[in-house]
Amino acid sequence: MPALHAFANPARFLKIARPLTPVLFWGGVLLIAIGCWGALLRIPPDYLQGDTVRILPIHVSAAWLGMGGWSGIAISSIAYLVWRHPLASIAARAIALPGAVFAALCLVTGSIWGRPTWGTWWQWDGRLTSMLLLFFVYLGYMALARAEQERGGDGRIAAIFGIAGSVLLPIIRYSVIWWNTLHQGPSIGLTSSTIDRSILWPLPFMLGGFTLFFGAVVLMRMRAMLAVQRAEARMRRMATA
């Protein structure tokens, strides 16, 4: 635990985050560019879905980060409630916006994929509906965290909400198994995949690129929030001097 608290020190965090942010950002941009090049120009059309399959790397990566973002919020919320880490609440709030953006991107790309594949832009099946609920939960968390901060709260209510919202994650993950819906079942596993490698190979580049980009955005938002906190603290000291 002392090691964790040492990393949660704002000054030490900033010392690491400043040089790490551009590394993550430009590394993510490079991998995303390779993934887009492969998906749009190099992979062959699918024998059933045709060129629609080219959206697969973006859609799967967005779904991964939409769910992964909320996992980060839940872990940060637990750390804040249990150990009172100084940066845990800031990390959770910093994750919320990019997590919501990727959840929305997942829904949009899923609709674009679904129109020619299923014949409809939207279907109220388990996977789509639970992902939409996660997007709304993101919006609710951001509104709650902002309201609590404006009222001078300590962040505990938002942290409890962040933990409670994680109940959606296993529902999203196993929805295609629990309910018989239009959305296809699991096709990519840790050791095997039902998708041919000639179509699948851009996915690791896109997934890695989006993940690095996500991390860079979170670090930038955390640094900005810390700067605001420091400015507000300085103003309070000046007002009471």
Q: How far apart are CA 152 and CA 213, in angstroms?
A: 32
Examine the pLDDT at 141 and tell me if it is beyond 60. Answer: yes
DSSP 3-state assignment of 46? strand
Examine the pLDDT at 34 and tell me if it is beyond 70. Answer: yes
Examine the pLDDT at 193 and tell me if it is beyond 80. Answer: no
| φ, ψ dihedrals at 81, nearest 5° | -70, -40
Confidence of residue 176 (pLDDT cuts 50, 70, 90): low
Confidence of residue 142 (pLDDT cuts 50, 70, 90): very high
Domain assignments of the chain as residue spans, ordered by start: 23-41+53-181+214-240
Q: Tell me how far CA of residue 60 lies from CA of 81, 109, 183, 204, 237, in angstroms.
A: 32, 9, 13, 10, 48
Average pLDDT over residues 92-111: 95
pTM: 0.88
Both tokens of 167, joined, read 């109940």
Query: CB neighbours of 140 closer than 8 A, spacing ≥ 6?
Result: 161
Confidence of residue 187 (pLDDT cuts 50, 70, 90): low
Sign of CA dihedral 61, 64, 66, 71: negative
Q: Where are the alpha helices (DSSP H) in the chain?
A: 2-7, 10-37, 56-83, 88-118, 126-150, 156-164, 168-178, 197-200, 202-240
Question: pLDDT: is 4 or 119 the higher one?
Answer: 119
Q: What is the pLDDT of residue 33?
A: 96
Examine the pLDDT at 1 and tell me if it is beyond 50. Answer: no
Average pLDDT over residues 27-53: 85
Residue type, position 236, single letter: R
Q: What is the pLDDT of residue 241?
A: 62
Q: What is the pLDDT of residue 160?
A: 95
* Lowest mean per-residue pLDDT among 137-141, 179-183, 189-193: 189-193
Looking at the DSSP assignment, which residues form a beta bridge with residue 188? Answer: 193
Tell me which range, 2-16, 28-42, 165-179, is most confidently predicted by mean pLDDT: 28-42
Q: What is the pLDDT of residue 8?
A: 65
Q: What is the pLDDT of residue 235?
A: 72
The pLDDT > 90 percentage for the chain reads 51
Average pLDDT over residues 140-144: 96
Average pLDDT over residues 99-103: 97
Examine the pLDDT at 181 and tell me if it is beyond 90. Answer: no
Question: pLDDT: is 234 or 33 the higher one?
Answer: 33
The pLDDT > 70 percentage for the chain reads 85
Closest CA to 17 of 118, 103, 87, 106: 87
Q: What is the pLDDT of residue 6?
A: 58
* Lowest mean per-residue pLDDT among 73-82, 145-154, 162-171, 204-213: 145-154
Buried b (16+ CB within 10 A) or exposed e, 76-90: bbbbbbeeebebbbb
Task: Answer yes or no: are the C-beta atoms of 61 and 203 closer than 8 Å.
Answer: yes
